[in-house]
Amino acid sequence: MRFILLTVLVALLVVFLNPVAPYWVVMIGILILSTLLNPNGLGGFFGGGLGMGLTWLGQCIYLGIVNSSSLPDRMGELMGLGSGTSVIALTGIIGFLLGAFSGLSGVLFRGVLQKKPLDVYKG
């Protein structure tokens, strides 16, 4: 449940914060969300990654359809990727990685902040 909640909240954060702030501010927001929701390690990784990656991918596709621009095709040729679809896929992958490592960082940060009992017999 926390995984789905994290994914939805990350997607909303990216949609509303990305147009007015740089990507690293969004990454800090994902870190804070992941710290507060406290998913497990894989849940934080994939929740942040899917939320940001799918949102970036969706925004690229939406802007490409609405604007009917040839810029993705030109950038694909300039970068040696071939077509604009490759540039859009690369954007989604980069968004996934940025969000995933931000979510994982939040989970690990929460682990650092939690106190661990020192005097408990552990067998």
Please tell me the predicted confidence (pLDDT) of residue 29.
Answer: 94
Please tell me the predicted confidence (pLDDT) of residue 123.
Answer: 55
Q: Tell me: the pLDDT tens digits for 69-90?
A: 788 888 888 888 888 888 889 9
10 CB-contact burial (10 Å; exposed 0-12 / middle 13-18 / buried 19+)? buried
Question: Tell me, what DSSP letter sits at residue 114?
Answer: S
Integer CA distances (angstroms), 80 to 56, 64, 97, in order: 21, 19, 22
Q: In this structure, is residue 8 part of a structural domain?
A: yes
Please tell me the predicted confidence (pLDDT) of residue 9.
Answer: 95
Q: In this structure, is residue 44 part of a structural domain?
A: yes
Q: In this structure, is residue 117 part of a structural domain?
A: no
Identify whether the C-beta of residue 88 lies closer than 8 Å to the C-beta of residue 72: yes
Q: In this structure, is residue 15 part of a structural domain?
A: yes
Q: In this structure, is residue 75 part of a structural domain?
A: yes
pLDDT for residue 121 is more than 80: no
Domain of residue 78, residue span:
2-112
Please tell me the predicted confidence (pLDDT) of residue 122.
Answer: 66
Alpha helices (H) along 23-115: 23-37, 41-67, 71-79, 84-113
Q: In this structure, is residue 118 part of a structural domain?
A: no
Q: Tell me: the pLDDT tens digits for 12-66?
A: 999 999 999 999 999 999 999 999 998 988 999 999 999 999 999 999 888 888 8
Q: Tell me: the pLDDT tens digits for 83-119?
A: 888 888 999 999 999 999 999 999 999 988 887 777 7
Please tell me the predicted confidence (pLDDT) of residue 116.
Answer: 77
Please tell me the predicted confidence (pLDDT) of residue 76.
Answer: 85
Q: In this structure, is residue 121 part of a structural domain?
A: no
Q: In this structure, is residue 46 part of a structural domain?
A: yes
> How many domains, the chain?
1
Please tell me the predicted confidence (pLDDT) of residue 74.
Answer: 84
Question: Tell me, what DSSP letter sits at residue 83?
Answer: S
